[in-house]
Structure 1
Amino acid sequence: MTIKEMQDALNARLLFGEEFLDQDVQFIFSADMMSDVLAFCGKCSVLLTGLCNPQVVRTAEMLDIVCIIFVRGKMPDENILSLARNKKIVLLTTEHFMFTACGILYEHGLRGGA
């Protein structure tokens, strides 16, 4: 599934990374605690989270995550957007709750990366 297909499935708004939407992803991980992401993320390339701070982007960078999806309509501030631009990490936001977003992506064939 491409990031663009995930964006469409979640009715998500693109915040950054239009040029990267054709990247193919197979595994996702969802968490609000970045310590859990660091400990359990494994081979994921997309992170779903309700946490909206710079540590999310820094964690994604360390794990080579290519896309962060903020759930519950969370909107990152300019500092987070700037970090993501510099690291070339796609940012999306969706109004779905995390459980629903994970379910939608699971129905479309994505699996957990742990």
Structure 2
Amino acid sequence: MKISEVIQILSAEVIWGDEKLCEREVQNACGSDLMSDVLAYVKDQSLLLTGLVNPQVIRTAEMMDFLCIAFVRGKRPDDAMIQLASEYNIVLISTEERMFSACGKLYAAGLDGSGL
């Protein structure tokens, strides 16, 4: 699924990432506020959904080759996080959806958590 499709499904706002980056494909998704759980999730080309807003989220996403981070519950990263994401070319989006409903909508649209 393209990141642009994720944006549409979640009625999300792009915080950082251009049109070209938003056309990249994510193969699966992981929803977690615990970065230790995310580190145990060893899939690349993925989408991370989280309500946690701190620089460790960006660093974890970079280590795990995530292409996009979706902040749920309307959370927004600060300027330092946005700068860090831009250095790693990680698309940042924000949605008003709660974690459960965001994951459910993406799953219903065909994105799954294979490999968990």
- Relative to the length of structure 1, the TM-score reads 0.96
Q: 2:14 matched to 1:37?
A: no
For structure 1, the residue ranges without an aligned partner over 5 or more in a row are none
% of aligned pairs identical? 51
Unaligned residue ranges in structure 2 (runs of 5+): none
For 1:79, the equivalent position in structure 2 comes to 80
Distance 2:25 2:75 in 1: 24
Q: CA deviation at 1:26?
A: 1.8
1:43 to partner: Cα distance: 1.4
Please state if 1:54 is matched with 2:55. Answer: yes
Match of 2:3 in 1: 3
3-state SS of the aligned residue for 1:112?
coil
Give the whole-Å Cα distance in 2 for the aligned partners of 1:34 and 1:25. 19
Q: Which residue of 2 aligns with 1:21?
A: 22
Partner of 1:107: 108
Aligned residues: 113
Residue range with higher mean Cα deviation, 18-27 or 65-74: 18-27
Q: In structure 2, how many angstroms separate the alpha carbons of the residues matched to 1:78 and 1:43? A: 27
1:90 aligns with 2:86: no
Q: Residue deviations 1:55-114, cap 9 Å, x none?
A: 000000000001000000001100100000111000000000000000000011001142
Which shifted more, 16-25 or 80-89?
A: 16-25
Distance in 2 between residues matched to 1:5 and 1:32, nearest whole Å: 23
Q: Distance in 2 between matches of 1:8 and 1:51?
A: 22
